[in-house]
């Protein structure tokens, strides 16, 4: 048994992340799991005031969870309404309609839908999940006769949100922007009506995709116990670690570095508070101000005093326009009429990716909570995550929800269940009031970036703390595909919005802007103009980037999550010399790759029948000679042979036997 990993609070060690855990079963019944524990139980002996509040630890946990979700909301709002909607979609629409009416109609309508439908819909999912997980904590405390159970933190699926915005929302907007019906209407003299239609349908497609993602998460509960029992845990953790390191830590720190005067102090507050244990106490009262709140307040103070990252006009406009507008309730249940295969088939590959990311995140989070001493039912947790996502979609949200991986941190603070329930109530009040648009305009974005850095690094630390040292190389190995995805989305010249957006941003010569508009108009139909990304790929200027780009595209599709899941698991089987399971997994990967194009696929042309760079499985294929899915199918087949050959050597006694322990002592089943 290895030395236990402990998380400490001010009073000493609280949780032992390698303490004994119950043995896992390949089949879990969410009803019988609870035994004779009543369904309607509150356990009034559990907790402090009104059995909800246990003191400053509850406040710290509430502050961390509340501002964690707020940071995610602020960041995805900035990406969706800023770069994607106003720069890319707005610029493309201006190229079609010189009057700007088409662009203005799309941007205004989509922004209204976002604030009046999506944001209130997020509150529905958050309220449901936070209250339910508070209830689940009380029930677990009743079952085990304990008073130190901590509720699982719950919020917006940060990983899935970033993947969804680029691969589904932006894709749907581009597809509708160049839809023949909308173009006919726009050129027919009704650009405002056409723009409204573009925004309406693209928004509905994104919400329907989110609803399907919730169903995928719930369906994953069937396979969840089997995966948890048989798939190496680093493969699960690496899915979140990759996104946590690259998109929640690396990408925000780049943007923080662009505004050092505004961002450095909030960043240091976050690092010292969350990783150094610094507490901001109010005199000798013993009351502490949440670290995240200190960072937010400092960013607001510095931002408004230096006029950096803030706008008085925008803040006033947001308040006048959206405060009190609660479209999620005023307009009733959201229209999910686009839940049809013909409408959703082009997005299904990404829906599977996001669903699997949520599935894997839930597995890792439940395992993390179990390591800290609170063993929750995994199947029920996955179902609740999926239901929360679907409920949010029913009221207009295109952001999924899931449990978070910070449970051991909250437990070390002394939190119980109050922080979770109160977080849901607070978000219901904030997001249903219509004030979020004002909050977005008042708080400089650097505060959200600093908090995301903490969340991303916390994911990485958790993966290290909760896995044996021999798996560390596999965990780091899982970062590569997500790094490739980042490179593909931001610096790959073959990605439409890089070449397009750069031309638009720097379009002082008229011919550059014309090239950009022509490129965007024809990208869906694969009629690329001379000098477009495909021409660049085949030109001498590509140099070594052509070879590098091939690997980046193969690894990075769909966020790189599929590649990470399969390859990290294969790596773990190599570490454990478990060639039998490795052969089975490689055979499965061969079959899945050959039939669906998952986990990795690369079409040489960026302009396939599917707009956008995310081309994972079930998408229309272009010419066989430019489709490289066959290469990975062959590679996985070769890996299967490799595993079987080594299994034979192992059976012959020429290779040491498999490592069967996981350095975690297990208790008998209940």
Closest CA to 253 of 238, 237, 271, 240: 271
Residues ≥6 apart with Cβ < 8 Å to 192: 101, 102, 104, 105
- DSSP codes of every residue in 294-352: HHHHHHHHHHHHHT-S--HHHHHHHHHHHTT--HHHHT-S---TT-SHHHHGGGHHHHH
What's CA 583's distance to the chain center, in Å? 30
- Per the CB < 8 A criterion, the answer to whether 455 and 244 are in contact is yes
Give the pLDDT score at 550: 67
Rounded to the nearest 5 percent, the helix, strand and coil shares of the chain are 70, 5, 30
- DSSP codes of every residue in 631-648: HHHHHHHHHHHHHHHHHH
Give the pLDDT score at 639: 96
0.75 exceeded by pTM: yes
Residues ≥6 apart with Cβ < 8 Å to 271: 453, 454
The dihedrals phi and psi of 7, each to the nearest 5 degrees, come to -105, 135
- Is 21 in a helix, a strand, or coil? strand
338: DSSP letter: T
R_g (Cα) of the chain, nearest Å: 25
Closest CA to 510 of 101, 100, 98: 98
With b meaning 16 or more CB within 10 Å and e meaning fewer, what string describes 451-461?
bbbbbbbbbbb
User: Cα–Cα distance between 324 and 553 in angstroms, integer?
Assistant: 45
* Tokens linked to 82: 């800023």
User: Cα–Cα distance between 612 and 483 in angstroms, integer?
Assistant: 18
* Tokens linked to 535: 């021409």
User: Cα–Cα distance between 200 and 325 in angstroms, integer?
Assistant: 18
- Per the CB < 8 A criterion, the answer to whether 548 and 491 are in contact is no
- Per the CB < 8 A criterion, the answer to whether 430 and 159 are in contact is no
User: Cα–Cα distance between 313 and 4 in angstroms, integer?
Assistant: 54
Ranges of residues in the chain with a pLDDT under 50 are 1-20, 48-49, 328, 494, 496-497, 499-545, 603-626, 663-670
User: Cα–Cα distance between 29 and 40 in angstroms, integer?
Assistant: 19
């Amino acid at each position: 048994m290895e030395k236990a990993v402990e998380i400490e609070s001010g009073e000493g060690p609280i949780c032992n992340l390698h303490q004994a855990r119950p043995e896992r079963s390949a089949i879990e019944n969410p009803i019988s799991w609870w035994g004779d524990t009543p369904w309607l139980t509150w356990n009034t002996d559990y907790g402090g005031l009104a059995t909800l509040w246990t003191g400053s630890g509850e406040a710290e946990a509430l502050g961390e969870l509340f501002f964690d979700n707020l940071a995610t909301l602020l960041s995805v709002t900035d990406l969706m309404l800023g770069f994607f909607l106003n720069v890319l979609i707005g610029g493309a629409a201006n190229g079609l309609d010189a009057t700007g009416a088409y662009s203005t109609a799309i941007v205004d309508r989509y922004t209204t839908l976002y604030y009046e439908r999506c944001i209130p819909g997020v509150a529905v999912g958050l309220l449901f999940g936070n209250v339910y997980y508070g209830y689940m904590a009380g029930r677990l405390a009743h079952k085990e006769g304990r008073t130190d159970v901590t509720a699982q933190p719950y919020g917006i699926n940060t990983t899935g949100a970033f993947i969804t915005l680029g691969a589904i929302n932006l894709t749907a907007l581009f597809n509708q922007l160049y839809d023949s019906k909308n173009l006919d209407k726009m050129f027919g003299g009704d650009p405002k009506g056409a723009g409204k239609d573009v925004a309406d349908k693209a928004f509905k497609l994104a919400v329907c995709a989110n609803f399907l993602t919730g169903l995928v998460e719930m369906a994953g509960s069937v396979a969840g116990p089997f995966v948890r029992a048989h798939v190496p845990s680093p493969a699960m953790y690496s899915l979140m670690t990759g996104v946590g390191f690259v998109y929640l830590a690396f990408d925000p720190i780049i943007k923080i570095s662009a505004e050092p005067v505004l961002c450095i102090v909030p960043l240091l507050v976050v690092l010292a508070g969350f990783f150094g244990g610094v507490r901001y106490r109010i005199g000798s009262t013993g009351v502490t101000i949440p670290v995240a709140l200190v960072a937010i307040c400092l960013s607001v103070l510095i931002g408004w005093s230096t006029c950096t990252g803030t706008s008085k006009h925008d803040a006033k406009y947001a308040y006048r326009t959206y405060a009190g507008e609660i479209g999620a309730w005023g307009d009733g249940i959201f229209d999910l009429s686009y839940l049809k295969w013909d409408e959703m088939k082009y997005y299904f590959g990404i829906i599977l990716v996001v669903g699997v990311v949520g599935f894997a995140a839930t597995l890792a989070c439940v395992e993390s909570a179990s390591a800290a001493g609170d063993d929750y039912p995994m199947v029920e947790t996955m179902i609740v995550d999926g239901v929360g996502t679907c409920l949010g979609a029913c009221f207009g949200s295109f952001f999924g929800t899931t449990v978070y991986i910070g449970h051991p941190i909250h437990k070390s603070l002394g939190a119980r269940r109050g922080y979770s329930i109160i977080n849901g109530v607070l978000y219901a009040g904030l997001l249903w009031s219509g004030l979020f648009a004002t909050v977005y305009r008042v708080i400089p974005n650097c505060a959200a970036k600093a908090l995301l850095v903490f969340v991303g690094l916390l994911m990485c630390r958790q993966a290290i703390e909760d896995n044996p040292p021999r798996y560390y190389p596999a965990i780091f190995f899982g970062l590569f595909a997500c790094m490739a995805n980042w490179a593909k989305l931001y610096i790959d010249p073959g990605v439409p919005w890089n070449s397009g957006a750069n031309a638009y941003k720097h379009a002082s010569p008229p011919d550059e802007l014309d090239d950009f508009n022509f490129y965007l108009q024809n990208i869906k139909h694969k009629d690329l103009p001379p000098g477009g990304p495909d021409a660049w790929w085949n030109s001498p200027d590509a140099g070594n980037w052509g070879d590098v780009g091939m690997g980046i595209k193969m690894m990075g599709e769909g966020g790189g999550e599929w590649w990470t899941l399969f390859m990290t698991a294969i790596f773990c089987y190599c570490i454990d010399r478990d060639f039998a399971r490795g052969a089975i997994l490689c055979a499965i990967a061969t079959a899945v790759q050959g039939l669906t194009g998952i986990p990795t696929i690369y079409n040489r042309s960026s302009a396939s029948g599917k707009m956008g760079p995310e081309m994972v499985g079930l998408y229309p294929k272009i010419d066989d000679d430019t489709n490289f899915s066959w290469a990975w199918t062959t590679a996985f087949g070769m890996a299967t042979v490799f595993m079987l050959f080594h299994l034979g050597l192992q059976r012959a006694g020429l290779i040491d036997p498999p490592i069967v322990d996981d350095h975690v002592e297990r208790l008998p089943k209940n």
